[in-house]
Amino acid sequence: MNGLGEDVPAAGAATLLVIAKEPVPGRVKTRLTPEYTLEEAARLAAAALSDTLDTVLSLPARRRVLALEGQPGPWLPDGGFDVVPQSGGGLDERLAAAFARCSGPTLLLGMDTPQVTAAILAPVLAADAWTRADAWFGPAEDGGFWALGLAEPDPDLLLGVPMSTARTGRVQRRRLTAAGLRVADLPLLTDVDTAADVARVARQVPGSRFARAVADRTTGLVR
């Protein structure tokens, strides 16, 4: 089942959707403590979010949406994004509500993978991406997922999936295949959740804001 009909979108026709929290100390990346202070963790989160948004801004897209919990800050690029508030409820409900705001092929990304590049996302941005698959799935090493693309956004595909567990990705992918969707996989990536993750991801993107924030833990917000 693909439900795509005759109108297959060309390259750049997908909506790129980022879901994020405002990087406020004590509200983001609290698992980085005690190795990092709450303020340092928030600066790392801001840098990771900036890198992610810059990458998304550089990609061809029909629309770019930031589903944000909190308020925009200096980490948000000027122009290019429709900023919408996240809904209430659990993460599954918030992801489902974000997809419900979109139509047509939509790719969801989080704020925890600053190592994402255009090359990594190339398969889902290709002209034939949505003829080859109805869904794209980016697994994370912690058992979750860092990307989810749907040719036809359907909130029911996410509602009820247990989030933030070692089996989240497995359950979510099984939900897609159980719905009869053809699922294509993106590369396995590391979410930045722990201090060990910070060092590992920073090494993968040495020129990024994230890597600079890791290298200089005494700075303010990296711009």
Give pLDDT tens digits for 187-221.
999 999 999 999 999 999 999 999 999 998 744 44
Give the number of other CB atoms < 10 A from CB of residue 53.
23
* Measured distance CA(137)–CA(187) in Å, rounded: 9
Domains of the chain: 15-215 (3.90.550.10)
User: pTM for the complete prediction?
Assistant: 0.90
- Coil/strand/helix, residue 16: strand
* Measured distance CA(86)–CA(106) in Å, rounded: 17
Looking at residue 12, its pLDDT comes to 56
pLDDT tens for residues 67-77?
999 999 999 99
Stretch 8-36: mean pLDDT, rounded?
87
Stretch 147-163: mean pLDDT, rounded?
97
Instruction: At 18, give phi and psi (nearest 5°).
Output: -110, 130
